[in-house]
A and B are shown apart, each in its own frame.
Chain A
């Protein structure tokens, strides 16, 4: 296991070039090119702003203003998370040529997927920052120290899940379609477009307990507390527990991937 993790470090040059290639190839041929990485989240934010200030101005609690910004804090990391998993479900099959014809470390593929999406997430951050300034939304600098911890937690969680998803999809192609629907359900089971407080007030705390089991709940709340809410970051205990769990998941995911590795060359 340790040996394998050390191998991962050895592949960092390969991972790095593949991430760069992914990013380059994604917008190759489009007029705006790299600029799309900024434009996409910007357009998304504008749409949400329009919907929640013009179309449905009274559908959310008054204390959460600007509401579009609140949602944006959750949607940006969620996009990283869900597109990583959805792409990971197909990455080994799409890269079948590499696995079958070249001596290639397969675990690199899901990692590259997650990292490329992380870079897109980072590209969205300046847009978020711009809007924070535009809305004159104060940021607590001591809270910002926690930001890298949240990102690390999400990274470990996403890579761990991507290992599992990518390895299993080779044998169970159904997973790909299943996952697309599951991610929609997961999105609505996470306090992203509604605040946790709202969910907690429904169904005598049962819904809060269910939501607490969802790991992404704590990531979303962390992002919201750091970037949106004014008060101090109070969710850190949950976050640290999640970080530990994500590390375990990462190891477990990698172990599963490693166990199934030999079957990839035949399965994809």
Chain B
């Protein structure tokens, strides 16, 4: 067992909520209410971390993932020693460098050269050490031509690159990284990743806080998932990322369900007047029409759509599906009296309002015969060949001439998830084939 580089034991961090009158602390209020550091009532505090423990062996690359506000950065700050845990302890063995905010100590008025020196000294180097690494730092930041210009003239990318270059050249035993890889262009990001790889090879410890799950899976030996200040899972990165992704899908599911319920409620209370054209096929032909983009519900309600469910492969209704999954759109309908002229319509829209597909039973050459009482209509999609994204759904029942019985315009939202980061809207079923002279192997990136 290799020695422990970072040992966090039962770390709890309680922040004071600066609510109402507390926001403007005055000497008077402190004198009247006694000591500055006193026990706060629970309603005035917020626990960002609730008893988190983990160990990072030396030489390990450790990833921390979690949603916004889950406590990842607070954890990193506790490890860095910038803030102290309220209870519990963090022990770090070796020199620490924290990439939390790049170029935090830069002074805008003075040159990049002087800032490199001062920033390096702030991070714990001596003047001599910086002088020795200076050229390397400047080369890494790709700022050879601008190093003597004041930092205030730098673009934000240049600023970040210089900050990163200095911090990485401190040559720490333990490097703490907080979501800073998004700083440069593609080329610079690769350089940073190479540098991390270099760190790993030399047996240094890296603690990485990030939203890039791919990065965690690729680089980390172990991962920790923090949610609302609690450690939800830790260990093998693939397993932890998998658990996290599943949880995010679940909460998206809840959010979409809530949003749909709200949209439907809104449509019920404020019904729209019937627009001139109410046919998904025609709507598809005119996606630019501003009015059509708005959600709502209209129609005579002689036939009413009483419920809409999206059912996935597992047989459960939901809002989040995987690309390529079989999905059924199930409409519950009730006819107030017997009707003979009717058609069901479906429209799929991308989040920015582009119609991905629209059809109705009339277009599909299905002639209505009759309907009475309650029943269901299912639109079975054998394979949901859409790329990742959020989609809106139109459902309608109308006369074949377009007279609307019940038209639901974009009242339903669902999300398509995919592990493949392809672009566009439609993913045709496909495979790649090559002649024997062209060779590729799986697992490129």
Residues on A close to B: CB < 8 A? 13-14, 17-18, 21, 24-25, 28-29, 97-104, 168, 171-175, 260, 262-263, 265-266
Q: Which residue of B lies closest to A27 (CB)?
A: B109
Please indicate the chain B residues that have their CB under 8 angstroms from the CB of A265 in the complex.
77, 82-83
A262's closest neighbor in chain B, by CB?
Answer: B84
Minimum C-beta distance from A110 to chain B (A): 16
Q: Which residues of B approach A to under 8 Å, CB–CB?
A: 15-16, 24-27, 30, 36-37, 77, 80-84, 96, 98, 100-101, 104-105, 107, 109-110, 114, 117-118, 121-123, 126-127, 150
Known A24-B110, A171-B36, A175-B27: A103·B80 in contact at CB below 8 Å: yes
Complex-state Cα separation, A25 to B114, whole angstroms:
11
- Find the B residue at minimum CB distance from A14: B121
Q: Which residue of chain A has the shortest Cβ distance to B84 in the bound complex?
A: A262
Known: A17-B127, A28-B150. 11 other contacts (CB 8 A): A17-B117, A18-B118, A24-B110, A25-B110, A28-B109, A101-B104, A102-B82, A102-B104, A103-B82, A104-B122, A265-B77
Flag if A24 contacts B36 (CB, 8 Å). no
Residues in A with CB closer than 8 Å to B77 are 265
Write out the residue numbers on chain A whose beta carbons fall within 8 Å of the beta carbon of B36.
171, 260, 263
A177 smallest CB distance to B (angstroms) = 11
Min Cβ gap B375→A in Å is: 61
The answer to whether B121 and A13 have CB atoms under 8 Å apart is: yes
CB nearest to A108 among chain B residues: B122
- With beta carbons under 8 angstroms apart, the residue of A13, A14, A21, A174 that contacts B114 is A21
Contacting residues, chain A, for B96 (C-beta < 8 A): 103
Q: Which of A14, A28, A103, A174 has the most CB of B within 10 A?
A: A103
Known: A13-B127, A171-B36, A262-B83. Contact between A25 and B25, CB under 8 A?
no
Given contacts A171-B30, A260-B36, contact A25 B109 (CB under 8 A): yes
Q: Closest CB of chain A to B75's CB: distance in Å?
A: 14
Once the chains are docked, how many angstroms separate the CA of A175 from the CA of B84? 26
> Which residue among B16, B25, B80, B98 has the maximum number of chain A CB atoms within 10 Å of its CB?
B25
With CB as the reference atom, state the residue of chain A lying closest to B114.
A21
Inter-subunit contact B81/A13 (CB<8 Å): no
Residues of A within 8 A of B107 (CB): 21, 25
Complex CA–CA separation, A139 to B82 (angstroms): 52
Chain B residues whose CB sits within 8 angstroms of the CB of A262 once the complex forms:
83-84
* Given A24-B114, A25-B107; A17-B121 close (CB under 8 Å): yes
Q: How far is the CA of A21 from the CA of B81 in the complex (A)?
A: 26
Nearest-CB distance from A181 to chain B (Å)?
14
A174 to B24, CA, bound (A): 9
Give the CA-CA distance A65 to B356 in the complex, in Å: 93
- 21 A-B pairs with CB atoms under 8 Å apart are A14-B122, A21-B118, A24-B109, A28-B150, A97-B104, A97-B105, A98-B105, A99-B82, A100-B101, A102-B82, A102-B98, A102-B122, A103-B96, A104-B122, A171-B25, A171-B30, A174-B26, A174-B27, A175-B27, A262-B83, A263-B37
Bound-state Cα–Cα, A101 to B127, Å: 22
Q: A172 and B26: CB pair below 8 A?
A: yes
Q: How far is the CB of B384 from chain A (nearest CB, A)?
A: 44
B104 & A13 in contact (Cβ 8 Å cutoff): no
B109 touches A102 (CB 8 A): no
A168 CA to B31 CA, complexed, in Å:
13
Given A13-B121, A14-B121, A172-B26: A103 touches B98 (CB 8 Å cut-off): yes
Least Cβ–Cβ distance between A101 and chain B, in angstroms: 4
A173 CA / B24 CA spacing, docked (Å): 8
In the bound complex, do residue A102 and residue B123 qualify as a contact, i.e. CB atoms below 8 Å apart? yes
CB-CB under 8 A from A173, the residues of chain B are 24-25
Distance (whole angstroms) from the CB of A113 to the closest CB of chain B: 14
Chain B residues near A24: list those with CB within 8 A.
109-110, 114
For B117, list chain A residues within 8 Å (CB): 17
List the A side residues contacting B118 at CB < 8 Å. Answer: 17-18, 21
Which B residues are in CB contact (< 8 Å) with A100?
A: 82, 101
CA distance A14 to B126 in the complex (A): 9
A102 vs B127: C-alpha distance when bound (angstroms): 19
B114 and A101 contact, CB distance less than 8 A? no
Report chain B residues within 8 Å CB of A25.
107, 109-110
A175 vs B15: C-alpha distance in the bound complex, in angstroms? 24
Residues of chain B contacted by A171 (CB below 8 angstroms): 25, 30, 36
CA distance A28 to B109 in the complex (A): 7
Query: In the bound complex, do residue A266 and residue B15 qualify as a contact, i.e. CB atoms below 8 Å apart?
Result: yes
Nearest-neighbour CB distance to chain A for B357, whole angstroms, equals 49
Chain A residues near B24 (CB, 8 Å)?
A: 173
Residues of B within 8 A of A28 (CB): 109-110, 150
Q: Are A101 and B101 in contact (CB under 8 A)?
A: yes
Q: A24-B114, A171-B25, A262-B84 are in contact. Are A101 and B150 (CB under 8 A)?
A: no
Most buried by A among B30, B107, B122, B123: B122
Q: Smallest CB-CB separation from B24: which chain A residue?
A: A173
CA distance A14 to B107 in the complex (A): 14
Given A28-B150, A265-B83, A172 and B25 contact (CB-CB distance below 8 Å): yes
Residue of A nearest to B127 (CB): A13
* A-B pairs with lowest CB-CB distance, top 3: A101-B101, A25-B109, A101-B104
Q: Are B109 and A101 touching (Cβ within 8 A)? A: no
CB of A261, distance to nearest CB on chain B (Å): 9
Establish whether residues B83 and A101, one from each chain, have CB atoms under 8 Å apart when the complex forms: no
B23 to chain A, nearest CB (A): 10
**Taking each of A21, A29, A97, which has the highest tally of chain B beta carbons within 10 Å of its own beta carbon?**
A21
A98 to B118, CA, bound (A): 12
In the complex, what residue of chain B is closest to A28 when comparing beta carbons? B109
Query: Nearest Cβ in chain B — how far from A164, in angstroms?
Result: 12
Of A13, A99, A104, which one neighbours B126 at CB under 8 angstroms?
A13
Complex alpha-carbon distance, A102 and B121, angstroms: 12
The reply to whether B82 and A172 contact each other, CB–CB distance below 8 Å, is: no
Task: Decide: B110 and A21 in contact? CB cutoff 8 A.
Answer: yes
A46: shortest Cβ distance to chain B, in Å? Answer: 29
| Distance of A21 Cα from B123 Cα, bound (Å) | 16
Q: Residues of B contacting A174 with CB < 8 Å?
A: 26-27
Q: How far is the CB of B34 from chain A (nearest CB, A)?
A: 14
Nearest CB of chain B from residue A100's CB, rounded to whole Å = 7
